[in-house]
Amino acid sequence: MNTLEKNILELLSSDARLGAEAIASMLGEQPSAVKALIRSLEERGAIVKYTVISNGELLDETAVEALIEVKVTPKKGEGFVGLFKMDTIMLWIKVVVAILPSAIVGIPFDDWMDAHLHNGPVVAAMLILYGVAFILVERRQNTHRRARIQNVELIDMRMALMIGLFQVLSLVPGTSRSGATILGGILMGCSRAAASEFSFFLAIPTMAGASLIKVLKFGLSFTSEELIILAIGCVSAFVVSIIAIKTFMGYIKRHSFTAFGWYRIILGAVV
């Protein structure tokens, strides 16, 4: 088995749903070459193509290039108990570390940013600026060697803090929070899949904290009816945001940033 085949197997081990084009983008190889190697690995029994239900989502074998056999049911000691495993605890500690920069900057300057940055020119400029950044980073990914961090668990405290610093940029209106953190992760040496996964975990406490700040800013003198309406609104917005971010994360794991970058540039020009 050659080095490229080993790299393909390693990527599929970290995310069994990766397609040939996504793998080719990560490794800087031609999609046709990766597809040929995947077919060869299948014929030799190294890869098993099949239909599997993963995280409640039915994956049709015709919709993916190849899958490495993965266990759908959690192993003994995982599942709910897995929330208390040391790896999981360490991951959430890293998430907390990554939140700190945006909390330190965002909380004291929230009112100032609302007053001075929430306007059309700023939003348009950020849309175009980060659209260009997405395209440039994607081109850099295609010309550089394989990312050294392929799994979210390999992100250390220093890298988590650096990704958190990139999240500070998203405090400026028109900047995509998930986009900024994924870009930061990739520039720090993460694969697109690892950066996307960490960004998703980072979104949960970030959005919850931002909502809490807004509630506290407007005071807590609500009637019972207003509290019910507020609670329903907050929960609905939170759930929709999580679904939207997870959908975006799934897309980014398997596709390049180029289309998203051009979308931002066009939207910025319209704004």
Task: Give yes or no for residue 163 having a pLDDT over 90.
Answer: yes
Q: Which two tokens stand for residue 96?
A: 């907390």
Phi and psi at 45, nearest 5°, equal 85, 10
Q: Which tens digits make up the pLDDT trace of 4-40?
A: 887 887 787 766 667 778 888 888 888 888 888 887 7
Other CB atoms closer than 10 Å to residue 136's CB: what's the count?
13
What's the pLDDT at 46? 67
Question: Using alpha carbons only, what angle is made at residue 198 by residues 49 and 131, rounded to the nearest 5 degrees?
Answer: 95
What's the pLDDT at 192? 79
**Average pLDDT taken over every residue of the chain:** 76
What's the pLDDT at 41? 75
* 71-77 average pLDDT score: 38
Tokens 């959690």 sit at which residue? Answer: 74
CB burial of 243-254 (b: ≥16 within 10 Å; e: otherwise) equals: eebeebbeebbb
Question: Where residue 249 falls among pLDDT bands split at 50, 70, 90?
Answer: low
Question: Where residue 57 falls among pLDDT bands split at 50, 70, 90?
Answer: very low
Task: Give yes or no for residue 177 having a pLDDT over 70.
Answer: yes
Q: Which tens digits make up the pLDDT trace of 130-145?
A: 899 888 887 776 666 5
What's the pLDDT at 72? 34
Residue 167 near residue 177, CB atoms below 8 Å: yes
Residue 245 near residue 200, CB atoms below 8 Å: yes
What's the pLDDT at 143? 62
